[in-house]
Amino acid sequence: MRLVVVSNRVTIPDRHEKATAGGLAVALREALEKYGGLWFGWSGAVGEDTRQVQRGNVTYAVTDLTEAERQSYYLGFSNRALWPIMHYRLGLTEFQRSDYMGYLGVNRRFARALAGLIQPDDVIWIHDYHLIPLAAELRRRGVTNRIGYFHHIPWPSADVLGALPFSATLVRTLAAYDLIGMQTELDVRNLIGGLVDLCGARQEGRRVRLGARETLMQAFPIGIDVEAFRRLAAASVRRAVTPLRATRESLGERKLVIGVDRLDYSKGIVQRLEAFGQFLRSHPEQRGNVSLLQIAPPSRSDVPEYAELDRMSDEVAGRLNAQLGEFDWTPIRVVKKAYSRTALAGFYRRAQVGLVTPMRDGMNLVAKEYVAAQDPADPGVLVLSRFAGAAQQMGEALIVNPYDTHEVAEAIRTALAMPKSERIRRFEQLYHVIETTDIDWWRRRYLEALTGVPLSTGAVEPPRKTGTRTKGDSATRRASRAKGAAVPGRTDTKSRAVAAGHKASPHPGDAGHSTPVR
């Protein structure tokens, strides 16, 4: 079997990238390296170039988009129509027929290029809403291989999605897939409802029949590389990464509340700033004792709704700082730039509260990274929106409604006042969840469902080296480690050292440059 991954953007790795790339990119690349394979998609550039680059046993096949394609396929239909409606934001949804035609055109062009590269035993794994009709286009060109799709963002009910012109036609193309993966059970239910209501499909449990095709729908909540992130966080503290040192100096003993998101309206950044302002107004004794650091790297700035959010977040932060700040204390710092993963891990660990309050989110990996980065002996508290997919798994966070400013403000207060024993109890449960459903678990479960072959049998996966620990073994060990428990086969001293945040193995290297926040 050879694996073919298709995603909107493809970054060809350079020699140093392994340490800096985000969890998903690394997980997919690892899967490709295991099986040998092909990663196909947009180069991220505007032009007319198409090229293939070989890195080990992985071929990266990338193509530029023309400016017209970028406008219609990427900025237009994907990000002004599909993105808002998938995030339940009908009011922000801007549909243009020409954008939809451009979207279909790019999918057709990708299918034409990809069909020529497919081999008979390839398994094809397509990612994200930009590429929904790609499998149907491949089938039209005679591709009969197994094709899976993973939808990284939410999927709304048929009532909401049905408002999008051509939604029934678009949803119908999903029948070309053998397996559709969603982040949560709610997304699966909504998707099945959409296929039944909008397209007249027949449901049989988790399978949906449409015409001659049968598609399996299943939830696969995506995870992170918990162990790698935990190590990054511990290393960043020891190595005093520059932005952290500066933060430490400027904050002194003050507590830190942190938010980290792409500058996107789905993330609820403006609402979060307002909630922090409300918290300071309701609890004046906290003024001067705590600051909010919001890291918000700009994103999709050519889309007008994003430009508006950029302006609004500056305005709200400026107003709140002017109203509530003191000459020696700035309540809110909004930093619109990306940081290395090492620096982010260090910021998370320094923060007493992780504020993850999207208005709607497929999963939200920041919630998982915040937990992974905590010091097990003195962890911070996660405040999490009930509308993030992560809330389905992370019930031990303080779950809030991001539309309720007062509720979020009170959760900040509760988090800051929470006794250490309760913080540790919640942290241990959350850590256990994210570790047992990490990125490796996600990838293996998805590929098992798509190929129909349990990867652990070795029938699909290359044989493990003799003496290599199984994934189950290492997950159990790491979960125990996070709890500070003695791990069978290890000395007590070593497991205690790790639980206390000491380095267990060589750090993965400082990330010299920044990576996107999903």
Q: Which residues bind ligand F6P (CB under 6 A)?
A: 9, 128, 152-153, 299-300, 516, 518
Q: What phi and psi values does residue 59 have, to the nearest 5 degrees? A: -100, 130
∠ Cα 366 474 35 (to 5°)? 80
**Minimum separation from the CB atom of position 99 to ligand F6P (A):** 15
Cross-strand pairs, 21: none
Residue ranges in 297-438 assigned as alpha helix (H): 304-324, 341-350, 365-372, 405-417, 420-436
Sheet strand arrangement including 332-335 = 332-335, 290-295, 255-260, 353-356, 381-385, 398-400
* From 128, 178, 187, 361, the catalytic residue: 361
Other Cβ atoms less than 10 A from the Cβ of 318: the count is 12
Q: By C-beta, is 135 or 153 nearer to ligand F6P?
A: 153
Q: Return the DSSP state at 155.
A: -
Q: Return the DSSP state at 488.
A: T
Q: Would you call 152 a catalytic residue per the annotation?
A: yes
**Minimum separation from the CB atom of position 43 to ligand F6P (A):** 12
**Minimum separation from the CB atom of position 8 to ligand F6P (A):** 6
Q: By C-beta, is 2 or 300 nearer to ligand F6P?
A: 300
Residue 12, judged by CB atoms within 10 A of its CB (0-12, 13-18, 19+), counts as: middle
Residue 341 CA to residue 174 CA, distance in Å, equals 35
**Minimum separation from the CB atom of position 224 to ligand F6P (A):** 14
Q: By C-beta, is 266 or 291 nearer to ligand F6P?
A: 266
**Minimum separation from the CB atom of position 438 to ligand F6P (A):** 18
Q: Which residue is nearest to ligand F6P (CB)?
A: 152
Q: Would you call 510 a catalytic residue per the annotation?
A: no
Q: By C-beta, is 79 or 291 nearer to ligand F6P?
A: 79
Q: By C-beta, is 299 or 342 nearer to ligand F6P?
A: 299
* From 152, 225, 438, 440, the catalytic residue: 152
Which residue is listed with tokens 């939604």?
Answer: 167
Q: DSSP 3-state assignment of 53? A: strand
* CA trace torsion 105, 129, 173, 36 (10° rounding): 90
Q: DSSP 3-state assignment of 291? A: strand
8 A C-beta contact, residue 125 and residue 4:
yes
8 A C-beta contact, residue 420 and residue 378:
yes
Residue 39 CA to residue 259 CA, distance in Å, equals 32
Cross-strand pairs, 147: 124
**Minimum separation from the CB atom of position 407 to ligand F6P (A):** 26
Q: By C-beta, is 267 or 300 nearer to ligand F6P?
A: 300
Active site residues: 152, 361
